[in-house]
A and B are shown apart, each in its own frame.
Chain A
Amino acid sequence: MRINFWYISSFVISLFVIIPILTVFSSFFDNTSNYFQVLKDTFLMEYIFNSLILLVSVLILTFFIGTGSAYLVSFFNFPFSNFFKWALILSFAVPPYIYAYSLTAFFENYGTAYTILKNLFGEGNYNQSIPKFDGLLGVVLSISFSLYAYVYILARASFLYQSQNIIDLGKNLGFTKFKAFYSIILPAARPAIVAGLSLVAMETLAEFGAVDFFSINTLTTGIYNSWIAFDDLAFANQLSFFLLLFIFALFILENLSRKNAKYHFNTKAGFKQKQKIQLSGKKAFLAFSFCFLVFFLSFLFPLSQMMYWTIKFPENLIDLKILDLLMNTLYLVILSSLLLIIFGLVSNYGNRVNKNKTLNILSTLSISGYAIPGVILAVAFITFIAWFDDSVIKNLGFVSIKKVFIGSILGLVLVYFIRFYSLAYNGIKSGYEKINISVDESSYLLGYSKRKTFMNIHIPFLRNSLLFVGILVSLEIIRELPITLILRPFNFETFATTAYISASEDLLEAAAVPSLFLILIATFFIIVTSKYILRDNND
């Protein structure tokens, strides 16, 4: 094997991404416990129980909402079905923590629901009859309505490429629509749906904002608290072991479904364009109602609650330095997406031209950053830098590097990089898999260098994948909370941090303005790029 530029770059990138991930699990060796084992056992059971309940409930809900709405818009025509096709992905613009603020604002005692009832029916004590969506239930709803879009997008993409042939098969066998759905359509789309669900599962386990807002203890907040508040590394270690078990199970599940997915790709030859069934009357109304309800609950409801507050308490709008927040948010988005795309490309290409086993394993490991909750990654990063600085840099007689990495844009972007590298790497990889290796060989035969092949042939081919990766990463960074909160420099706020800080001080009304802007910017991103997210135009 020849060591070349591409090999080294891929190697270095992957190694860099792995280091902090390893720190998470290796920095847990001291035992500095503050409380008794009996209590720890109580906590441990509670955290595992909460995480499990949360995971299972969110998966069930997102499965029904995501697959249900994807099925309706892919197979049927009904009023506004073309609108819902892309409107249903707008829920991505509302992060779970903002959904949590809206739920609380609307349903709490003397909240928005109370005001509405009072204005409709006059004075009265309505508080007792308004349902309360807080605690675990609140978290489940917040996460589900924000994340079902993962399932929706992947399920819809899979439904879209199902050939008319298999639907005809069901018809010929005399299946009802429902039977055709669960015995033909659903199994064929299973790998895509499982892939969507495992994304939802990872995000659920990593969720910090909403879980913290409703003060529910999960494994993730448990690790954060025992690490940060109690310096109890031993207990944090125990918790992360369990979290790791969860994540490994998901990882394996996701990989298996990805492998299976390959068998389901249709060859162009046997593909027959599907005809959508026209619904009318009661059926059309039901399909419309379902999609509208999902759209309303996931997007219109939080959007209008935030707007209502912004109008009701306009002084918060005046106080906020919106332009600064916008520039800061965009700055992080652009810098990070560029870095992720460039390095994701280099690393993918390095893997492609070298076909080296070590490199392959290293790349696979390096993408696990996505599975580690951001809040834990951020603390691990600080711990690693502090250790490295104290035990290596200073011993070599250099000046401290802590300030270069902790509380700087550089550090912030690096941790984003570690966290979202998997999105970039896999997104670009799936694009690369569509470029036949013979294309490279022809290029070399024509006398192109590796660099020229990369620049002039691969990049134009990969344009759509790169754009898609860019959008995904941007949306993640606009919504990202824990890493930004922990690592940002002095006097640097984004929409997400401003919203969170107001909310944590019980100033939900003040949190409404930055939340509203966050939703609007993310919505703008989604609308402009919806055709790439929905992938109607490329296969």
Chain B
Amino acid sequence: MRKISIITLIFSVIASSFAIANEVNVFNARHYKADSELYSKFTNMTGIKVNLINGKSGALEKRIISEGADSSADLYITADAGRCGAMDAKGALQGGLTSAAIKDAVPKSFRTNKWVGIAKRARIIYYSPERVTGAELSGMTYEGLADPKWKGRLVIRKSSNIYNKSLVASLIKNNGKAATAAWAEGVVANMARTPTGNDRAQIMAVAAGEADIAVANTYYLALMLSGKKGAEQQEAAKKVKAFFPNQNDRGTHMNVSCAALVKGAPNKANAVKLVEFLLTPESQEHFTNNTFEFPMIDGVSPSPLVVNNLGLDFKQDMKTKLASYGKNQAAAVEVMTAAGWK
């Protein structure tokens, strides 16, 4: 009897993994509550069930690649173009995100036929208005972070962080590897402390007086200002100001959360539908109001918290192709490590 029940159990486990349904399987490395709300909405509208496996990008990628042609993954959603680019380089993606709806919505430099940006963020400079003068900041660029005048005044997170890898990859694309290597050494020399903590911790370090300028993504300040992190952090956020670098040349470094079509996706059509859904004005508005990212499409404006405190009217870098972040990633790691960037 006991044997039978164990065998039944094993078979039911096996059977459940073969069940076929109207669904789309998402390997998801973006874990905002807002995202799962959108997925439920999609299911209600289309009847397509969204199956989620949440995890760290690295482990999800490993699983997709090992499962190969048999992978159950349809879409891989992650928070950096560098990661989608790296997956493409490993041959784990397929073309197909080419419908008119997608092409019309997303500017060319923010997509390939295998992955598209679904929401934008900028990596910018935060400063303390008490300790940094307007003259010091005037015409400030990413390149300028290596200027000796910032010695002991800069905080930025670790070199292992993907946002930094992509930023440095974009600098390599624009200025070349040798110049970027020299730049990285300058940045390390300017650091107020050994890199520690996440982006929000860098902003708070400026608020607390540990440093004068910080590099972090745009949505963190809005998140702190929203009060979702408590009154203390709201108060801290008011002590720092945002600055958009490189306004006089190529524009501010942009990155995206991206959705990539996995090779061998069993529900390819549904996957395309989900991506199209994420690019509708309603979904984009949902992103901007909850995750405080910038919308991917025209005609939707960012959250008032972002507009009022960061400004909307800034020049985005639309020239540097996001696909270059993945291509130059290894070189980026190399120059940062060689410079002693922890």
Contact = CB atoms under 8 A, between A and B. Distances in A.
Interface of A: 34-36, 38-39, 42-43, 108-111, 114-115, 118, 125, 127-128, 132, 134-135, 214-215, 217, 224-225, 227-231, 312-313, 319, 378-379, 382-383, 385-386, 389-390, 400, 402-404, 406-410, 485-486, 488-491, 493, 497, 501-502, 504-507, 509-510
Interface in B57-93: 58-59, 61-63, 66-68, 70-72, 90
A347 B184 CA distance: 57
Contact of B197 (A108, A319, A408): A108
Nearest 10 CB-CB pairs, A to B? Answer: A127-B208, A490-B51, A109-B204, A228-B58, A386-B66, A109-B208, A110-B232, A400-B70, A505-B31, A110-B236
14 contacts: A35-B334, A36-B334, A110-B204, A110-B208, A128-B208, A135-B196, A224-B58, A230-B330, A379-B59, A400-B70, A406-B67, A407-B67, A506-B198, A507-B31
B13 A228 contact: no
Contacts of B25: 490
B202 to A, nearest CB: 10
Given A491-B52, A505-B30, 17 more contacts: A35-B337, A42-B337, A43-B337, A108-B197, A109-B236, A110-B235, A115-B232, A135-B196, A224-B58, A225-B160, A379-B62, A403-B18, A407-B53, A409-B13, A485-B55, A485-B56, A506-B199
B70 A389 contact: yes
Given A34-B330, A110-B232, A506-B198, A217 B207 contact: no
Contacts of A111: 232
Contact of B13 (A109, A132, A410): A410
B72 A502 contact: no
A228 B62 contact: yes
Contacts of A118: 232
Interface string B102-139: 00000000000000000000000000000000000000
Interface residues of B, number: 57
Contacts of A501: 31, 54-55
Contact of B53 (A109, A390, A400, A488): A488
Given A224-B58, A382-B63, A125 B31 contact: no
Given A215-B160, A489-B53, A382 B62 contact: yes
B112 to A, nearest CB: 21
Nearest to B9: A335
Contacts of B70: 389, 400, 402-403
A487 B207 CA distance: 40
Contact of B330 (A35, A389, A406, A502): A35
Contact of A110 (B55, B67, B161, B233): B233
Contact of B59 (A132, A228, A319): A228
B204 A502 contact: no
A109 B239 CA distance: 13
Contact of A497 (B51, B54, B68, B334): B54
Contacts of A231: 90
A504 B62 CA distance: 18
A39 B17 contact: no
A404 B11 CA distance: 10
B53 A386 contact: no
Contact of A489 (B17, B58, B198, B337): B17
Contacts of A135: 194, 196
Contact of A125 (B17, B71, B194, B209): B209
B101 interface: no
A403 B17 contact: yes
Contacts of B58: 224-225, 228-229
Label chain A's interface by main secondary structure.
helix
A506 B52 contact: no
Nearest to A214: B196
A493 B54 contact: yes
A409 B62 CA distance: 19
Contacts of A230: 330
A118 B337 CA distance: 40
B236 A504 contact: no
A128 B209 CA distance: 8
A397 to B, nearest CB: 15
Contacts of A312: 230
Contacts of A382: 62-63, 66-67
A386 B68 contact: yes
Interface in B216-263: 220, 228-230, 232-233, 235-236
A509 B229 contact: yes
A382 B68 CA distance: 11
Contacts of B233: 110
A497 B70 CA distance: 25
Given A406-B66, A488-B53, A490-B25, A228 B210 contact: no
A114 B42 CA distance: 42
Given A135-B194, A490-B52, A108 B334 contact: no
Contacts of B330: 34-35, 230
B333 interface: yes
B10 interface: yes
Contacts of A108: 197, 201, 204
B290 to A, nearest CB: 12
A174 to B, nearest CB: 52
B308 to A, nearest CB: 21
A151 to B, nearest CB: 29
